[in-house]
Structure 1
Amino acid sequence: MIWDLHCHLSGVSGNTPEQRMSELLRYADRMGVERLVVYMGMRWSQDPTPDDLREQNDDVLQAISHWHDRAFGFVYLSAKHVEASLAELERCVADGPMVGVKLWVAKKCDDEQIDPIIRRATELSAVIFQHTWLKTDGNYPGESTPMELAAMAKRHPKAKLICGHTGGDWEPGIRAIRDQKHVPIGIGGSDPTAGFVEMAVRELGSERVIYGSDIGGRSFASQLAKVQGANISDRDKRLILGENLKRLLLPILRVKGIRV
C-alpha cells in the first residue's frame, strides 16, 4: 500500500485541473501509488491574497471531484489572512470534501496569528502540512523552519501537524522536531540521499515518518527510492509508504464517509 502525502497540479500537462489530475493518476498507477493528497492549484502564489486562496482551492476541488476514492484535498491557507483562511477552512473542509490544510511561505508558523487556524483545523480532525526549509542562502521572509514548527507545535499538542520536507536539510530538521512526539515528518521534495530515512527511523521511530513525492516538482520514482532503497525493515517501509498517513487521516475520512 502506497499513499502519497505531497502532490501538486503544477508540473504536469493539462489545461484543466481534471486533466492534470488524470495525468497524475496515470503516473501513480505506473508506480503503484494508490492514493494521493493534493494541494495548491495550477497557478501558485507564495504570498496569496484571499482571492488567490479561493482560486487555488477551487482548482483542487475541481481536480478531486471525480476521484474521491483516489485523491484527497488539503485546503491552502495563509496566516496573513486569518478570517479569509477560516472561511476557506469551513468551505472546503467543514462543509466540503477536503481533509487537511496546507501552509506554505506567506508567514512564519511560530507567529501566534496562525493559532486560530490551527485550533479550528484541530477541531475538525484535519491534518496540517506545514512547509519547512533551511536554505543555505536564507529562507523567504515568511518561510518556516523545523525549529519554528517545533515552537508552534508546543502550543498545539493535539494538532495533527506534519513537518513538510523535514526542513530540506534533514539532519538538523529531524533533531529540531524530535521532542515533539505528536509531529511526524514528510520526506518528499528533496534528493533521494542515502541515510535520510535511516536517520529518521532511528531518531523518530518509523511511525513518525511519512512518504510523499512532491510530484509536480519531483518524480514518484526518485522519492519512492528514498524508502525502498533504505536500510530499514519491511515493517518500517510499510508504515512509511502508507500506513502512517492512513492512520493520521482515518478519523476525518470516517467523518466524511470516505471508505478506504
Structure 2
Amino acid sequence: MRSKQAPRIRIWDLHCHLAGLAGTTPEELMAELIRRADRMGIERVVVFMGFPFIADPTPDDLRRQNDQVLRALAGREDRALGFAYVSPNHVEASLREIDRCVRDGPMVGIKLWIARRCSDPQVDPIIARAAELRGAIFQHTWSKTGGSLPGESLPEDLAELARRHPDTPIICGHTGGEWERGIRAVRGLPNVSVDLAGSDPTAGLTEMAVRELGASRVIFGSDAGGRSFASQLAKVRSAALSHEDRSRILGGNLRAMLAPILRAKGVAFEP
C-alpha cells in the first residue's frame, strides 16, 4: 500500500536583501532573487534594505534605500513584500518613512539594524508607530564572540525592548546570532518570535527553538542573497519536526503575523 503523501508546504521567506545578488538595478536584483526562490519552491519573499549596506544611515540614506526596495517590489506584488528600513538615530525621519512606505505605500513592516541598540528608549516611538499600523517589527540581533558592532543589539537588548512593549509582536533577527543565548534571552516573552536566518545550518537550532518557544514563535528566513536559500532551508527541512510544525515555521507563522496588514491593504493571499 502506498503511503499517503504529506500536503505541500508553502514557503514564505521572512528575511531577504537585494545586496549580494547579480545585477545593478533594483529590478535586476529582484529578478535574480525570484529566480533563485523559484528553484527552491519559495512562494513569497520579504525584502528590506537597499544597497550598499550602511551601518548608520542618514535620513537621505534611509529614503534612498527604501526607494530601491519600492522599485524592486513594483510589478512583483504576487511574489514579494517589503519592510521599511528605519533608524532610531533619526526618529522623525523614520516616522516619515513608515508613513510613506507602510501607511501610504505597499510595505508591511519595518527593519531596524545596528545604528543604535534597541534597549535604548529612543526606539520606542518607531515601535509604537509600526504597531499602530499593525506592521511587522524586525530587529537585527547578533552576539559575537569577538564583540558586536557599535550600536548592534544583543538578544538581551531585544528582550528589554519587548518588555517595554508587551502587547507588540517583535521579531528577534537571526535568533540572536549565538542562537542558544538568543533563545534563552527571549524565552519568557510571548510577544517575541525568532528568525532562523543567517547563521550556519547547525543541527539542533530549530529543534531547540521549537522546544523552548513553541513552533508558533519560530519563523523561517534565509538572509539571501548573503546566504543561500538551500543552506537555510536545511535548518528546517532536516530538523526533527512534525509536518504541522514544519509548515508553521516555513510560512504559516509569517502569514498569520502579516494577515491583518495584508488584508487592510487588500493584498491577495491564502492564509
TM range (shorter): over 0.9
1:107-151 CA distance string (max 9 Å, x none): 000100011000010000000110001100111120001111010
Q: What is the rounded CA distance, in whole Å, between the counterparts of 2:40 and 2:34 in structure 1?
A: 10
Partner Cα distance (2:231, 2:52) in 1: 24
Does 1:127 pair with 2:97? no
Aligned residues: 260
Query: 1:57 aligned to 53, 66, 71, which one?
Result: 66
Q: Does 1:246 align with 2:255?
A: yes
Structure 2 counterparts to residues 137-148 of structure 1, below 5 A: 137-148=146-157
Secondary structure of 2:192's match? coil
Q: Could you tell me which of 78, 103, 115 is aligned with 1:69?
A: 78
Q: Which residue of 1 aligns with 2:176?
A: 167
Distance apart, 1:158 and its partner CA:
2.1
Distance 2:236 2:27 in 1: 29
1:158, 1:92 → 2: CA distance?
Answer: 23
- Report the equivalent of 2:188: 179
Partner of 2:7: none
Rounded to whole Å, the distance in 2 between the matches of 1:44 and 1:12 is 13
**1:43 alignment counterpart:** 52
Displacement after TM superposition at 1:160 (Å)? 2.3
Match of 1:203 in 2: 212
Decide whether the 8 Å contact of 1:2 with 1:35 is kept in 2: yes
Structure 1 partner of 2:101: 92
User: Percent identical across equivalent pairs?
Assistant: 63
| Runs of 4+ off more than 3 Å | none
Q: What does residue 212 of structure 1 align with?
A: 221
Q: Indicate the residue corresponding to 1:101 in structure 2.
A: 110
Give 1:25's match in structure 2, choosing from 34, 44, 66.
34
Alignment partners' CA distance in 1, 2:167 and 2:215:
20
The separation in 1 between residues aligned to 2:237 and 2:195, in whole angstroms, is 16
AA in 2 matched with 1:69: D
- The aligned residue for residue 8 of structure 1 is 17
Task: Please tell me the root mean square deviation across aligned C-alpha atoms, in Å.
Answer: 0.6
Separation in 1 of the partners of 2:229 and 2:13?
9
Larger Rg: 2
Query: Which SS does the other structure have where 1:41 is aligned?
Result: coil
Separation of aligned partners in 2, 1:39 and 1:73: 6
TM score, norm. by length of structure 2:
0.95
Q: Are 1:224 and 2:233 matched, yes or no?
A: yes
Distance in 1, matches of 2:174 and 2:32, equals 24
